[in-house]
Amino acid sequence: MKKLNMRPNDSDGFLFTFCGLDGCGKTTMLTKLEEELGGKYEIFKTKQPTNAVRKSDIFRTYMDNPNHDAYDYRSLSLLAASDRLQHVNKVIKPQMIKGKIVISDRYFYSCLANLRARGFENDEWIYEIAESVIKPDVAFFFDVPVETAVKRVRSRVEEKDRYIDMELQYKLRDEYIKICKANNGIFISTELPIEECYAIVKREVERVMKK
């Protein structure tokens, strides 16, 4: 696993990213951080990929059903990577220049995890694109067993019948763990109590912001 050579943050703002499987608990942690910092700082909360990709036919095909014959996954990955690059440089960066704290639900790491989990471990183009992406001040990776994550997803009324590729989830979990280690991310098991998990998030955020 190669390290992503991202651009350092040279703005007055901060970027904190939250990645992991659907159902890993990242949204809970992100929301708690937003609530705590919101009274003291200007916060900009965002999400990747944007709706331009999320609502596309190719994305919905891969998310919602097992038949992917109509598309080449690499084309979706390129679309998602392009979307993330545009989002970082035209949405996130301007907010950071204003001195805001940006909190992102998923980031470029998710694009890499999905590409590798689907068998494209040797694709080099994604590392080249990463050189134009801002490196987070802290990249959080949240982890639970696949079965726990899927159970959490299924507990949501709107997603109780959603198609989930279980084999892919196991591969994605492995990739997130590898990406976290290779890129000096902060790994948090959300099998721990919520307050213990959030204490780690808070500690890391405070450490960076004190510098």
Q: What is the pLDDT of residue 160?
A: 82
CA atoms of 95 and 34, how far apart (whole Å):
15
CA atoms of 85 and 92, how far apart (whole Å):
10
Q: What is the pLDDT of residue 89?
A: 96
Average pLDDT, whole number, for the chain? 95
Amino acid at 148: T
- Which domains are seen in the chain, by residue range? 14-209 (3.40.50.300)
Task: Please report which confidence band the pLDDT of residue 63 belongs to, taking 50, 70 and 90 as the band edges.
Answer: confident
CA atoms of 20 and 139, how far apart (whole Å):
11
For residue 181, what is the enclosing H or E element? helix 166-182
Q: What is the pLDDT of residue 163?
A: 86
Contacts with 165 (C-beta within 8 Å, 6 or more apart), sequence order: 66
Burial class (CB in 10 A: 0-12, 13-18, 19+), 186: middle
Q: What is the pLDDT of residue 15?
A: 98
Tens of pLDDT, residues 78-126: 999 999 999 999 999 999 999 999 999 999 999 999 999 999 999 999 9
Tens of pLDDT, residues 126-181: 999 999 999 999 999 999 999 999 999 999 888 888 889 999 999 999 999 999 99
Residue 157 carries which DSSP code?
G
Q: What is the pLDDT of residue 30?
A: 96
pLDDT at 211 over 80: no
Which of 60 and 81 is assigned the larger pLDDT?
81
Q: Treating both helix axes as pointing N-terminal to C-terminal, what angle do 73-87 and 108-117 enclose, rounded to 10 degrees?
A: 170
3-state SS class at 168: helix
HSE toward the beta carbon, residue 197, CA cutoff 13 A: 24
Q: What is the pLDDT of residue 88?
A: 97
Mean pLDDT of 43-67: 90
Contacts with 60 (C-beta within 8 Å, 6 or more apart), sequence order: 54
Q: What is the pLDDT of residue 60?
A: 86
